[in-house]
Amino acid sequence: METKLEKEVRFLKIYAVVGTLLGAVFVLTAFTWHSGKQKFEEIDVERINIVEKDGQVKLVIANRARLPGPGNIVSGKFFQRQGLKLPGILFYNEKGDESGGLQYGSAEQDGKYLASSLLAFDKYGGDQVVGMQYEEANSKRKAGFHVWDRPDVSAEEQNKNFDDAHKLKPGPERDKLLQQAVGSERVFVGRSGDRSANVTLFDANSRPRLRLSVGPDGDPKLEFLDAAGNVTQVLPASPR
């Protein structure tokens, strides 16, 4: 039968082993806590969240599947992103709303392809208002600088306006609702699909009204357009 002294010795041995293990864990953990900088030669990851000390997410770098849609990262309320689903980098403001980012990607099928990239700066509480964009579809390419108008209404109201607008026939009432749904492009400066370099100014319904261009043949021209897209005047009146 085990004596009292033997029991105490056994207890002390167990205590010493457990204490040693806990001490080792504490030392290693403390080293990790105080080592604020880690070095890696290479890392594979699907998503990285850059956060403030309070845990608020300020930037997300993610692959195609894990990049959040537009929305509020604090509430977790997101909308479906339109177009190609691409990998990229997203920035978030103090409210947790997406405030801009970089996306890029491509898709190919049956010998045809699409490619796109966008560096965007978003309106506070809204979609992008300034952007550098490249788009290409089977060698038809467009690249340049854009300025957009965005409605000063909530995302929920924008979605409602969009649905209501598409229930109406084309006309002023429909145009007004669309302005309060998706906004409009107002300025484009870049290279168009017809290979011309141009500056285009749009009205509040994204209709081109003034276009300054230099075509691939080198001839410059200034065009004035009506609301239907018809050219009403060209300067110079005839090519040299």
**Does a structural domain hold residue 228?**
no
CB atoms near residue 134 (< 10 Å): 16
**Does a structural domain hold residue 128?**
yes
Q: What is the CA radius of gyration of the chain?
A: 29
Query: Mean pLDDT in the chain?
Result: 84
- The confidence score (pLDDT) of residue 14 equals 62
Facing residues of 140 across strands? 137
| Residue with more model confidence, 109 or 81 | 109
What burial letters (b/e) apply to 16-32, b meaning 16+ CB within 10 Å? eeeeeeeeeeeeeeeee
**Does a structural domain hold residue 96?**
yes
Confidence category of residue 1, pLDDT binned at 50, 70, 90 = low
**Does a structural domain hold residue 179?**
no
Average pLDDT over residues 19-32: 57
Model confidence at 71: pLDDT above 90? no
Facing residues of 35 across strands? none
**Does a structural domain hold residue 227?**
no
- The confidence score (pLDDT) of residue 162 equals 81
Pairing of the two strands 197-202 and 184-191? antiparallel
Domain limits for position 119: 43-138
Q: How many domains does the chain have?
A: 1
Distance CA(81)–CA(84), nearest Å, equals 8
**Does a structural domain hold residue 74?**
yes
